[in-house]
A and B are shown apart, each in its own frame.
Chain A
Amino acid sequence: MIAAALAAWLAASSFAAGRDNDDFDIPEPAASTGDLFWSDGAYWMSVHQAKKAFDPVWLLRKLGLLARPPAANVDAQDEVDDSTWFTNRHARRRLSAAELAAGPGGEPPRPPFSVRSAHPAAQTPRFVAEDALGRRIFFKLDALDRPGLSTNGEMIASRILHAAGYHVPSTFIVPLASGSLRLGEGAVVAGRYKGQELPMQPGHLESLLYLAPRGAGGGRFAVATLGLSGKPKGPFSYFGVRRDDPNDSVRHEDRRELRGLQLLFAWLNNTDSRRGNTLDMYVEDGGRRFLRHYLLDFSASFGSGNNEPKAPEEGHEYFFDAGAAFVSATTLGAWVKPWEASRADPYPELGPFDAEGFEPEFWKPSFANPAFERAAPADAYWAAKLVTSFTDEDLGAIASVGFFPTPGAREHLVKTLALRRDACGRRWLAAKDVAPLESFWVEDGELRFTDLAVERGYATTDATRYREERRRDRRLIRVSRDGGRTFGRPVSVWLDGDRVMRIKH
């Protein structure tokens, strides 16, 4: 009986390999404050930046005298466990084209839609409705002159992030016809100011349809997001922990999956990586209730700046970048930023999105992000493994769900994502910051491994050399890509006889 209990405990315990135990049953947390991006954005771009000058640790890191702190939630293989934050998917077990295109899945919204609330005057017009199955659906409309601009971000970027392992809602392109929208009971339309609501009239439904762009066949459409199961408890911060969540024991800026998100967002050019585009849901699963953490709102991906083309600065500067503003002001405009050159924008449904000049380590979101700032090379390397796990065919399968009325747009997107992916791969798999060696095993007394840079085509064996150093408790493997002239930072491997006990990049 005791043995059975122990076995059951082990089976139930999240100490099983590959799984974090951050899903203990917890009391229902309070809903945290919503999308207060002014104070968030202003703080992280002003006070937080100013504090660095008084932070000796930051100064030492800036001078290269101190390494970035390692992520606090990596396992012995230097990987991230499945958790309420992240689930290893495509990089571990390749998803099929159909799975990639399906994303989180779920049945598409079924009309008719009973509209509950609408915000037609928002920068991205939107409304909330219930479908024929009683599910809550969030609809967003593209700009009339840019059909597909926001939609493609929501449809494609969300599926890429889902395949990478993040928790995202399901999205669909839904046709809107005059008969598919109905006035829900107690429906309201947002007034001019927050908190103002007016009873919705039939005319509002008509105006919503008028705001929806037309698809290829002439019918109007919207991008629909399925409501998440559970109770929303507000966004999560990229800094600190959530005090009312006992499962939240790792500071968010020390979580690898959040640090690594910088590279994925850089790849997808999703510049809107602020706290307001996240959501904690209090869910019930396996008899336990806990918070699951989601990413939301990908309409600022690729060349979209939320229903208008991205400004030239996006991806290169913070929304308010004191350094860039100071230099520009004091040089009287003589300093022309490289990204100020005019950009091609031949595809209205994508906006200005290309791979020219893309340097992933210099990419910046619109709002300073403390987790991104704290990312160590090992975190970027981990994210690069996710990014480079997508082949051109994978990207094509995902892009097939988008909306591309302009000939060549879909192909341009796939090609650009592939080029940007390769830029990420070259930077973080083939550079000296991290030794991209994986899958260690001991055979015939020799330590063997896979070189991801070679396997994925970012380095060749011709000029690649490896050097092993044996320390008392571990082995250090360094890689050279120039025939052995210079070697990069090592990967550390701890062995116990023939067993690989621990890896650290």
Chain B
Amino acid sequence: MIAARAACVAASLLLAHGGIGSAEVRERRRYRSPPGVERWLAAPARLLDLPWLPVGRTLDWAQSRDVPKRVMDAFYFNRERTAGWFPAAGARGAGTGVGALVFRDDRREDGDRLELRATSPGGGQYFARGSWRRPARHWRVGSVSIEASKDRDVELYVAPGGGLGMATTPADRRGAGLERVALRVEATRGAGRAAELGVFATGEALREIAAAPGVSPVAPGGPSLGRARLAGGGLRAALDGAAGGARPTSGARLSVEWGAAAEPGGDAALLREAAHGSAFVPLWAPRRVLALRASWERVRPAGRGRVPAYLAPALDAHSGLRSYPTGRFRNRGVASASAEFRWPAWSAWDLFLFVDGGQTVGPGEPPAARAWRASRGGGCRFFAGGREVLLVQWGFGSEGRELVIAVGKAF
């Protein structure tokens, strides 16, 4: 009897929950979603799922392979120990090539940073950089950097007669080839959390090489890059009183630098001075900021020394005048100012509108009042991990438009 009851219980359990197929499970389920006219009515909307399928698969693949992290690592955006090999595109579409990036970054913010980077965009060109930096606490070597490059299309706008700077027009664009090796060793000391002092020594060797095919060369008699081996040094001071890190909301930053370099046994000798300041003014609401920037940079011959044209500072989309192409205005001195209104669109995305103004100063320049150029525009910055990761900016000026997409750039 007991065995029979046990068999009945077992049979009932089997019937109730076990040993039955999926279809029967579904049939016996107490609750089921009702068949819905609603789902049929929503069917046309589901067509949007079709183009999403490859996008979703791509996102899944990208996440599973850490693709963005690998890409961002190629632009110094990393916080971990790693090494990697990454493809690199040519700087101006001269060709694509490959790059290698080996870097180490202790996870602690006050750790050493070592970066080695080499890219070869093709056409015989290359760029390589190695740098080591440690946070400044006491007077000691704080950074060493070595940079080498071979570029066969260095932009230089040279007016007929050899003038540079604001007197040039877009049609005056010329190109040259330059091979360069530079070394900089700097000893730094932190003065509080916001200030830093540095003294540096530099060495540089550069020579003009053949420009790339199709590039308009500098006319004979015009400024040339020449050849120079320079050794020099200087002083640097920086003050960072801005709050908010990569998205400053108040405060100011200031950096000044003075340096000198000369060519042992040669005719190149120059003095260099630069000052950059930025201020961030909080406006009527959180994260609405008016960012102001002013820059001054000048190189001048020391005594009767020659200043290689390549070392003259430039005013362009990457340095203070955002609607003008790379290297557009270059002369002994550059002054620029910017005002930028910033506001957040969402948590990781700031929008901005800007006006820039600037001019170069030096031989062959028109009167200052007529030299000033302006640009205006706007853009957005994307942030991740508290850092600016992507800048997209569109500038408009008297000579056209300039779109800049940059990674890891901050103002």
Contact = CB atoms under 8 A, between A and B. Distances in A.
A235 to B, nearest CB: 14
B16 A4 contact: no
B17 A39 contact: no
A58 B42 CA distance: 8
Contacts of A23: 17
A31 to B, nearest CB: 14
Contact of A320 (B55, B286, B346): B346
B56 A39 contact: yes
Contact of B22 (A22, A26, A121, A287): A26
Contacts of B5: 1, 4, 8
Contact of B286 (A314, A324, A342): A342
Contact of A36 (B22, B25, B60, B79): B60
Interface in B96-116: 107
B118 to A, nearest CB: 20
Contact of A5 (B9, B22, B55): B9
Interface in B58-95: 59-60, 62-66, 69-70, 73, 78-82
A250 B32 contact: yes
B369 interface: no
Interface in A157-206: 191-195
Nearest to A23: B17
Contacts of A336: 284-286, 288
Interface stretch (B45-53, B145-153, B236-244, B271-279): B45-53
A319 interface: yes
A72 B33 CA distance: 5
Given A23-B17, A333-B285, A120 B107 contact: yes
A57 interface: yes
A99 interface: no
B286 A73 contact: no
A314 to B, nearest CB: 8
Nearest to B21: A246
A321 interface: yes
A313 to B, nearest CB: 5
Contact of A72 (B34, B346, B351): B34
Interface in B1-59: 4-5, 8-9, 11-13, 15-20, 22-23, 25-26, 28-34, 36, 38, 41-42, 44-46, 48-49, 52, 55-57, 59
B31 A325 contact: no
A320 B344 CA distance: 12
Interface in B241-298: 284-288
A95 interface: no
Nearest to B40: A57
Contacts of B13: 8-9, 12, 287
B286 A21 contact: no
B107 A26 contact: no
Nearest to B65: A194
Contacts of A191: 82
A341 interface: yes
B18 A246 contact: no
A82 B146 CA distance: 68
Given A36-B64, A192-B80, A313-B346, A249 B32 contact: yes
A121 B28 contact: no
Contact of B29 (A4, A5, A22): A22
A501 interface: no
Nearest to A19: B30
B344 A24 contact: no
| Interface residues of chain A: helix, strand, loop or mixed (majority) | loop
A362 interface: no
B127 interface: no
Interface in A305-355: 311-314, 317, 319-321, 324-325, 328-329, 332-333, 336, 340-342
Given A192-B80, A194-B64, A247-B25, A36 B59 contact: yes
Given A15-B30, A39-B56, A55 B45 contact: yes
B151 to A, nearest CB: 31
Contacts of A53: 45
Nearest to B288: A333
Given A192-B81, A333-B288, A341-B286, A9 B12 contact: yes
Given A15-B30, A121-B80, A192-B69, A328 B17 contact: no
Given A50-B48, A328-B344, A193 B59 contact: no
Nearest to B52: A47
Nearest to A190: B80
A20 B274 CA distance: 75
A192 B343 contact: no
Contacts of A38: 59-60, 62-63
B231 to A, nearest CB: 39
Nearest to A366: B347
A287 B18 contact: yes
B353 interface: yes
A12 B33 CA distance: 24
B243 to A, nearest CB: 13
B60 A325 contact: no
A254 B62 contact: no
Contacts of B59: 36, 38-39, 42
Nearest to A317: B346
Interface in B340-358: 341, 343-347, 349, 351, 353
A51 interface: yes
A340 to B, nearest CB: 5
A51 to B, nearest CB: 4
Nearest to A332: B343
Contacts of B344: 328, 333, 340
Contacts of B347: 311, 313-314, 317, 319
A182 to B, nearest CB: 23
B342 to A, nearest CB: 8
Nearest to A343: B286
B12 A51 contact: no
A250 B13 CA distance: 23
B345 A329 contact: yes
A333 B63 CA distance: 32
Contact of A192 (B26, B41, B82, B341): B82
A465 interface: no
A217 B302 CA distance: 64
Contacts of B345: 325, 328-329
A21 B30 contact: yes
Contacts of B48: 47, 50-51, 54
Given A47-B48, A192-B69, A340-B285, A246 B19 contact: no
B199 to A, nearest CB: 34
Contacts of B9: 4-5, 8, 12
A42 B51 CA distance: 13
Nearest to B44: A54
Given A47-B48, A192-B81, 10 more contacts: A1-B8, A21-B28, A21-B29, A21-B30, A57-B38, A73-B31, A120-B107, A249-B26, A317-B346, A336-B285
A25 interface: yes
A452 to B, nearest CB: 25
Given A8-B13, A249-B26, A25 B41 contact: no
A37 B12 CA distance: 43
Contacts of B46: 51
A59 to B, nearest CB: 10
Contacts of A192: 66, 69, 73, 78, 80-82
B392 to A, nearest CB: 13
Given A1-B4, A23-B17, A38-B63, A246 B26 contact: yes
Given A9-B16, A38-B63, A72-B32, A57 B42 contact: yes
Nearest to A52: B45
Contacts of B17: 12, 14, 21, 23-25, 288
